[in-house]
């Protein structure tokens, strides 16, 4: 269900109604409104309206909205010097405090003990009625209630004490929920800020301390915003983030304007005030454009041409999807190819757009917010992006097919050939008395050995799947695997290992993997160190251990010959140095 404008309408109509009543009663500005009431209206009303628009059945949003409306009503009625509107001004601020206590009790989902909620609601209503009655005055008079003279302070203190008790009960309820709840972050913020709210209530009774009161009352919207931005409450992180950024931009522009006008006005005579205003505007124009550009990029992502270029150049589907999600500033983006899905972000319960891809697959992009459908331009951009994703999808299919071939060759055909060679050797042994069959057995074993070598060559050409994450990540995986097997491995890598050819990456990976395997099996070493360096057009790979060393007659049987051949095919060098202090294997490969 798409959210409607009802919460915003409630806020606007509430303030308009209060203003209309005040004007009808002939209010004339006499007493300036307190800054804190302006603050309540400016902070609570927009936040409450946003939450209520997306969570209509959650009372927290409506309560925050009501606090903001009451703050606005207080501002309007504060313009009256005396009379009925002034009477409203004297008590209308009270229910806002009570509603804040209710927010603490109900946060974040609005489902709580009916007894506690009913008790707090009755307390707020009773306190409001009592204060309204005690503040009743004759029209045009500032005298107190003649029916109950001198009771104002007593009833006010009693109502405050009861409300404070309700606040303590609300905080205690939050603490109980913290012990039972898995996601404790929002509740911890709520409990701490509930304590600050009670402190603000106490200070307002004994004589308000502005800074402490500000921290206490604004703690509730702060906890709500933290819950939204950090823990994803109400699924409105993007709209609230947008509001915070636009608010920051507006404040920055106003501060620059005020500072410019003040400085220029002091330096120039009074008659030059228009010059000061013009100077401020000229200063703000380029600043506003820069801030607006940065803000647009922050909220809506990269410009279309940049995004299409980034997606078109990408060959790795996970990085392309991540760049797509971050570039569009959407909560969720994914590409489905056959039975596999590559996604970025967390899918929310609001509309998604699906676009077919060529040569196959589907692009899934979720809207930035549930009530913000894509514009015509954005739909055109999504179509262009879907067209640009074709090469990345095709490359992903090729890699998946490569993985399948690797698994089939390595796990199926390879062991079958090895078993066949064992059978050939057994047959030769059993038929030793038939000299005519010896050459046949030898030819058969040579053929199987050649087939095995060809499969190894194909596997080497396909390359290890670990390299899809890059050489650095692949080598780190090798080191972690050997550490897990009991061999301490120190890995030293350069800052940049990108731009290498595929063959060089495969060679470096195989050298490190084979060398560490030999160390673990044969060297009886306590530790090993892998060092990779990059100097211009050369890539250096060194593996050192503190083991027993390798005897010269065993070096060829440990797979080192194939590593030497691999380096030679690429135009590199390979060397093994063994001594009493261990073995040092070093290889130099062309970087490209």
Per residue of the chain (592 residues), what is the pLDDT tens digit? 344 444 444 444 444 444 444 444 444 333 344 556 777 777 777 777 777 776 777 777 788 788 888 888 877 777 666 667 777 777 777 787 777 777 777 776 666 667 767 777 777 777 777 777 766 654 444 455 544 555 656 666 776 777 677 777 777 776 776 666 655 556 665 566 566 666 666 666 555 555 555 655 666 666 665 555 454 555 555 555 555 555 555 656 666 666 666 666 666 665 555 665 665 566 666 666 666 666 555 555 566 656 666 666 655 677 788 878 777 778 888 888 877 788 888 887 778 888 888 777 888 888 877 767 888 888 888 888 888 777 777 766 766 677 677 666 666 676 777 777 777 777 777 666 666 666 677 777 777 777 777 676 666 666 676 777 788 888 998 999 888 888 899 999 998 888 788 788 888 998 998 889 888 888 888 999 999 999 878 899 999 998 876 655 555 544 677 788 888 888 899 998 887 788 899 999 987 6
Structural element, H or E, at residue 241: helix 237-267
Side-chain half-sphere CA neighbours of 500 within 13 A: 28
Q: Which residues of 388-409 are buried (b: 16+ CB within 10 A; e: fewer)?
A: bbeebbbebbebeeeeeebeeb
**DSSP 8-state symbol, 523:** I
pLDDT, position 182: 57
Taking the C-alpha atoms of residue 523 and residue 518, their distance in angstroms, rounded to an integer, is: 7
Question: Where are the extended beta strands (E) located within 223-377?
Answer: 332-337, 340-345, 352-356, 362-366
Paired tokens of 410: 């390595």
Taking the C-alpha atoms of residue 441 and residue 428, their distance in angstroms, rounded to an integer, is: 6
pLDDT, position 270: 56
Q: Are 84 and 139 in contact (CB under 8 A)?
A: yes
Q: Are 518 and 480 in contact (CB under 8 A)?
A: no
Paired tokens of 90: 């004297």
Taking the C-alpha atoms of residue 462 and residue 452, their distance in angstroms, rounded to an integer, is: 15
Strand 362-366 vs strand 352-356: parallel, antiparallel, or unpaired? antiparallel
Longest dimension (CA), the chain: 132
Which residues, in sequence order, are bridge partners of residue 341? 336
Question: What angle (nearest 5°) sits at the alpha carbon of residue 133, between those of residues 129 and 138?
Answer: 150
pLDDT, position 112: 64
pTM more than 0.95: no
Task: Give DSSP secondary structure letters for 67-113.
Answer: HHHHHHHHHHHTT-SSSHHHHHHHHTTHHHHHHHHHHHHHTTTS---
3 state SS of 181:
coil
Taking the C-alpha atoms of residue 143 and residue 83, their distance in angstroms, rounded to an integer, is: 11
pLDDT, position 291: 62
Whose tokens are 């676009």? That residue is: 355
Structural element, H or E, at residue 539: strand 538-545
Distances (CA, A) of 382 to 134, 362, 377, 394: 63, 12, 9, 19
Who's near 340: CB < 8 A, 6+ residues apart? 396, 400
pLDDT, position 500: 83
Distances (CA, A) of 328 to 235, 243, 298, 368, 415: 18, 18, 10, 8, 48
pLDDT, position 7: 45
Strand order in the sheet with 528-535: 489-492, 528-535, 538-545, 582-590, 573-579
pLDDT, position 142: 44
pLDDT, position 586: 93
């Amino acid at each position: 269900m798409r959210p409607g404008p009802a919460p915003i309408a409630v806020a606007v109509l509430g303030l308009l109604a209060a203003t209309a009543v005040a004007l009808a009663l002939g209010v004339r500005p006499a007493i300036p409104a307190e800054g804190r009431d302006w603050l309540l209206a400016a902070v609570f009303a927009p936040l409450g309206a946003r939450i209520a628009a997306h969570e209509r059945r959650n009372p927290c949003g409506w309560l925050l909205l009501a606090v903001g409306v009451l703050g606005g009503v207080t501002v309007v009625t504060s313009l009256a010097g005396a009379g009925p509107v002034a009477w409203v001004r004297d008590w209308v601020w009270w229910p806002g405090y009570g509603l804040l206590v209710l927010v603490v009790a109900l946060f974040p989902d609005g489902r709580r003990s009916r007894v506690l909620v009913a008790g707090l609601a009755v307390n707020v209503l009773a306190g409001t009625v009592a204060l309204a009655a005690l503040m009743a005055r004759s029209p045009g008079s500032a005298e107190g209630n003649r029916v109950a003279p001198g009771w104002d302070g007593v009833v006010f203190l009693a109502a405050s004490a009861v409300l404070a008790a309700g606040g303590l009960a609300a905080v205690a309820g939050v603490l109980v929920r913290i012990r039972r709840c898995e996601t404790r972050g929002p509740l911890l913020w709520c409990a701490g800020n509930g304590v600050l709210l009670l402190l603000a209530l106490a200070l307002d009774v004994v004589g308000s301390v502005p800074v402490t009161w500000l921290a206490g009352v604004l703690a509730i919207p702060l906890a709500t915003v933290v819950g939204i931005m950090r823990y994803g409450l109400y699924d409105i992180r993007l709209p609230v983030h947008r509001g915070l950024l636009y608010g920051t931009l507006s404040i920055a522009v106003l501060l620059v304007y005020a500072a410019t006008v003040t400085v220029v006005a002091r330096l120039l005579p009074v008659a030059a005030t228009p010059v000061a205003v013009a100077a401020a505007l000229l200063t703000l124009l380029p600043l506003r454009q820069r801030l607006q550009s940065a803000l647009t990029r922050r909220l809506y992502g990269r410009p279309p041409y940049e995004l299409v270029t980034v997606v078109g150049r990408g060959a790795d589907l996970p990085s392309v999807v991540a760049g797509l999600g971050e570039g569009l500033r959407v909560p969720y983006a994914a590409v489905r190819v056959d039975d596999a899905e590559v996604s970025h972000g967390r899918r929310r319960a609001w509309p998604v757009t699906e676009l077919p891809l060529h040569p196959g697959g589907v692009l899934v992009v979720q809207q930035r917010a549930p009530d913000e459908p894509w514009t015509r331009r954005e739909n055109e951009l999504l179509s262009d992006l879907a067209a640009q994703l074709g090469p990345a999808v095709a490359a992903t299919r090729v890699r998946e097919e490569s993985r399948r071939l690797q698994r089939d060759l390595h796990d199926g055909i390879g062991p079958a050939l090895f078993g066949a060679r064992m059978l050939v050797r057994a047959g030769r042994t059993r038929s030793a008395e038939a000299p005519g069959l010896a050459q046949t057995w030898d030819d058969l074993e040579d053929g199987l050995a050649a087939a095995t070598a060809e499969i190894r060559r194909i596997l080497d050409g396909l390359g290890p799947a670990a390299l899809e994450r890059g050489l650095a990540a692949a080598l780190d995986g090798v080191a972690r695997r050997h550490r897990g097997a009991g061999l301490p491995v120190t890995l030293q890598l350069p800052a940049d290992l990108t731009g290498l050819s595929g063959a060089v990456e495969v060679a470096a990976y195989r050298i490190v993997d084979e060398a560490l395997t030999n160390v673990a099996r044969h060297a009886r070493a306590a530790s090993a160190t892998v060092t990779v360096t990059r100097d211009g057009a050369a890539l250096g790979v060194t593996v050192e251990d503190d083991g027993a060393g390798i005897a010269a007659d065993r070096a060829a049987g440990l797979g080192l010959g194939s590593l030497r051949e691999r380096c030679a095919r690429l135009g590199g060098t390979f060397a093994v140095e063994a001594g009493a202090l261990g073995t040092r294997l070093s290889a130099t490969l062309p970087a490209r």
